[in-house]
Structure 1
Amino acid sequence: MMLTFATPLLLALTAAARPSSYAVWGADSAISRGQGNGLSSAGAAQVSYEHGEFQWALRLLLDRTGNQTYYNYILKGANNIVYDNGTVHGSYTLTDYVLDPIRTGPTFLYLYDKTGQAKWKTAANTFRSQLNSHPRTAEGQFWHKKVYFNQGWLDGIYMGDVFYTAYTAKFDARNATAWADITAQFQLMFDNTKQLPTAPNNTNLLYHGYDYSHTAVWANADRGHSPEVWDRALGWYMMALVDTIELAPPSSGALRTTLLKILQTLAPPLRDAADPKTGVWWLVMTQPGRAGNYFESSGSMMFVYSLLKAVRLGYVPDKDGSIVKAAKKAYNYATANWVIDNGDGTMGWNNTVVVGSLNMAGDYNYYISQAITLNDLKGLSAFILASLEYELL
């Protein structure tokens, strides 16, 4: 009799431990593991673009649920990397000129809005001042890092220009020079990395990056672009497009119209690049089905988020519903194949590649040789963002 009673009760408790929302489940699971809290795995302060991406997702989730746990976690994480006087620490040095840390800047602006505390404006000013002296190509493109001479990467648009837009909108909305500069960052990246119709393995999408000086070992004679279309680099750029359009005020000049044109150019071929059977995207998008290639989860979820948000907000027309259909198919594959129920009320996230860089050969063998990790925050945050958009459907 006791067994008959206990079994359904335990099942009910287990079911209650798992939220009905994948966005909530993913976020709560990451928080339970202490991810994205401004600290490294060793407990040292760390200014991390992954944490900035996760905090962006938590902000949206807070708006959706009203759960103050998410706000408290954002605040705690940001306090771990900003002293009371507004100094950004955690191994951040302005003169290293790396775009990646700036991805935490939108969190500082958000907390300044919420608290009015001067420390957050001071911290944001530090990142904004970096952009004033950050090295650029002769055309004006920010270098991805000072150590990568004359190189622009798709990743850097998401890291630097979402913050650049949010900061300008808040504190300097009539600065036409700044708005033109942000617009140029997106346009230069597009112009220098867009695959040409005559390119081998053409997808009509964007190469990972380019070297304006043509001195990198991987730089092609055609604009100095890198050899392959890497899914996560393109994912960063796509997310930057939809998030920046949303942030751009009427005073931003040509920014909104320029980004809309780019987004509308990229969305259809991105839809068409998905694997026909599974609906998700290959790690190296220019080499579908090649031995060693695989379906990668972070880029795929960045695409789902970007495409669904673009259609929802009217940035991209979808008269036949094919873009939403493609995004839904990819999302359903993800929940069936990349979400892991840990059995303790938390979920795991699989198939995210740890890194993709242009500091080596930048070729196919490089990308497929990088490790895949469980619960990588770059991929899990993208899944939370994709889930938020999917759940709006």
Structure 2
Amino acid sequence: MLTRALALTSLLSCASYAAAHPTSRSVSAAPSSYAIWAADSAIARGQGHGLDSDGNVQLSYEHGELQWALRLLYESTGNETYYDYIVSGATNIIEDDGSVLDYVPEENQLDSIRVGPTFLYLYETTGDEKWKTAADTLRAQLDVHPRTEEGQFWHKTRYPEQGWLDGIYMGDIFYAQYTAQLEPDNITAWDDINLQFELMYDNTLQSTAANNTNIGLLYHGYDYSQAQTWASSDRGHSPEIWDRAMGWYMMALVDTLDIVPADSTAHATLLSQLTDLAPKVVAAADPDAGVWWLVMSQPGREGNYFESSGAAMFVYALLKGVREGYVADADGSIVAAVSKAYEYMVDNWVEDAGDGTMNWEATVSVGSLSGASDFDYYISVDTVENDLKGLAAFLLASIEYEQL
């Protein structure tokens, strides 16, 4: 593993790269590529590099999200800066023998597994066994991960019997990629991946107008035991539809569809869910702004606001879904609606920092089911500038938008 000194040197190298490639942009002058601007800005700040702000090793799902986006950008541009940054960041979180740092198995966090696709990608591109060893460590967790009686992975040990939409994105893209890459004939694994999506969808789908409106999307999560104060009496679902949780799920659908065998039950399940949810997501956008409310089940309520990470995730998932042929859009209405949303994002949430980088605004820092999980909770959480959950999603959305 890199020593802390070497890791910090690597960060400085990334900052030096940005300084050596200045881009002078006024607020009114659009860059040639928002995807490149977003990626270069994250790299210049040292974000998603396997380290926290103090230079300590950090196994972070946010870093995994950014690395996924940088991989796509590298593949579309051929700019090795993005590949090298992935390698450098991933190297910061493993030992030379492939041991994963900052990993606590007993926590059973699906969040930690989101870095797994990076390990698999680097094993594929380098052939270095340390990356397979790291991936094997995270895959082994799934064999012992606690589940509900029906078979849903708990989100974490500290959230017993709870399945969250977030967890599908964190765990099941890796689960599918590992199976496809290393165990393609493991039918049990493919069936289990299918089960994770089926259970989450069936237990969280809004079927009645429990709040101000029935938009037919997925609640943030559910408690199979119905022990939580927020758990509904029918399936134990949470009370609100939170935009980023829904965004995680939509991204998981389109990304996992690329991986699961086309003739599998899992592919049919995911495709069915995506074709059901996609038009509902489009319809849930504010008709004037074109983007989505933080609490989607309470549109327009005082205190609610348009939130940027969920919006970017929807743009990415919907555009990719159409491009891949998963979502039908014969009249172009979905692409038109999503393009309107993307233009709102650029006009309202991208700010020129004045130093060649861009800032990303209006991303809510967190959303949890650990407390009341009601409307007042969601709107009380602060937004954070350049929050990687939103910035990486904007990078993904920009990659798709720029292919139109």
Fold match, TM over 0.5?
Answer: yes
Answer yes or no: is 1:338 the counterpart of 2:352.
Answer: no
CA distance in 1, matches of 2:366, 2:157: 19
Query: Is this contact kept in 1: 2:240–2:295, CA < 8 A?
Result: yes
1:319 aligned residue: 330
Deviations 1:310-356 (A, max 9, x none): 00110011122111111100000000000001111110000000000
Answer yes or no: is 1:77 the counterpart of 2:57.
Answer: no
2:24 aligned residue: 14
Answer yes or no: is 1:60 the counterpart of 2:72.
Answer: yes
2:15 aligned residue: none
CA distance in 2, matches of 1:46, 1:271: 35
Query: SS of the residue aligned with 1:392?
Result: coil
Which residue identity does 1:349 align to in structure 2? W
CA distance in 2, matches of 1:240, 1:13: 33
1:271 aligned residue: 282
CA distance in 2, matches of 1:35, 1:18: 23
Deviations 1:251-292 (A, max 9, x none): 6x2011110000000011100000000000000000111111
Tell me how far 1:222 sits from its aligned partner: 1.7
CA distance in 2, matches of 1:103, 1:149: 20
Give 5+ residue unaligned stretches, structure 1.
1-11
Answer yes or no: is 1:49 the counterpart of 2:61.
Answer: yes
Tell me how far 1:199 sits from its aligned partner: 3.4
Deviations 1:52-85 (A, max 9, x none): 0000000000011100000110001000001111
Which residue identity does 2:152 align to in structure 1? Q
Tell me how far 1:367 sits from its aligned partner: 0.3
Tell me how far 1:247 sits from its aligned partner: 1.1
Tell me how far 1:249 sits from its aligned partner: 2.6
In the TM superposition, 1:1-393 aligns within 5 A as 14-15=24-25, 19-90=31-102, 92-200=103-211, 201-250=213-262, 253-393=264-404
Which residue identity does 1:163 align to in structure 2? F
Query: Is this contact kept in 1: 2:312–2:390, CA < 8 A?
Result: yes
Tell me how far 1:114 sits from its aligned partner: 1.0
Deviations 1:174-203 (A, max 9, x none): 111100000010010000000004533211
Query: Is this contact kept in 2: 1:18–1:25, CA < 8 A?
Result: no
CA distance in 2, matches of 1:96, 1:13: 43
Deviations 1:286-307 (A, max 9, x none): 0111111000000000000000
Which residue identity does 2:359 align to in structure 1? G
Query: SS of the residue aligned with 1:247?
Result: coil
CA distance in 2, matches of 1:108, 1:14: 35
Query: Is this contact kept in 1: 2:25–2:354, CA < 8 A?
Result: no
Query: Is this contact kept in 1: 2:23–2:356, CA < 8 A?
Result: no
2:8 aligned residue: none
Which stretch of the first structure deviates more once superposed, 197-206 or 270-279?
Answer: 197-206
Relative to structure 1, the CA distance from residue 371 to residue 15 in structure 2 (aligned partners, 3 Å threshold; closer, same or farther) is closer
CA distance in 2, matches of 1:171, 1:256: 18
CA distance in 1, matches of 2:30, 2:57: 31
CA distance in 2, matches of 1:366, 1:143: 22
Tell me how far 1:14 sits from its aligned partner: 2.5
Please report the TM-score for the alignment, with normalisation by the length of structure 2.
0.92
Query: SS of the residue aligned with 2:268?
Result: helix
Query: SS of the residue aligned with 1:295?
Result: coil
CA distance in 1, matches of 2:24, 2:123: 39
Relative to structure 1, the CA distance from residue 333 to residue 18 in structure 2 (aligned partners, 3 Å threshold; closer, same or farther) is closer
Query: Is this contact kept in 1: 2:25–2:352, CA < 8 A?
Result: no
Which residue identity does 2:273 align to in structure 1? I
Query: SS of the residue aligned with 1:260?
Result: helix
Query: SS of the residue aligned with 1:86?
Result: coil
Query: Is this contact kept in 1: 2:308–2:349, CA < 8 A?
Result: yes
The 4+ residue runs of structure 1 with deviation greater than 2 A are: 12-19, 197-201
Tell me how far 1:49 sits from its aligned partner: 0.2
Which residue identity does 1:38 align to in structure 2? G
Query: SS of the residue aligned with 1:180?
Result: helix
Which residue identity does 2:346 align to in structure 1? T
CA distance in 1, matches of 2:296, 2:30: 34
Query: Is this contact kept in 2: 1:18–1:346, CA < 8 A?
Result: no
Query: SS of the residue aligned with 2:226?
Result: coil
Give 5+ residue unaligned stretches, structure 2.
1-21
Query: Is this contact kept in 2: 1:109–1:124, CA < 8 A?
Result: yes
Name the count of aligned residue pairs.
Answer: 380
2:18 aligned residue: none
CA distance in 1, matches of 2:63, 2:23: 31
| CA RMSD between the two structures | 1.4
Relative to structure 1, the CA distance from residue 13 to residue 232 in structure 2 (aligned partners, 3 Å threshold; closer, same or farther) is closer
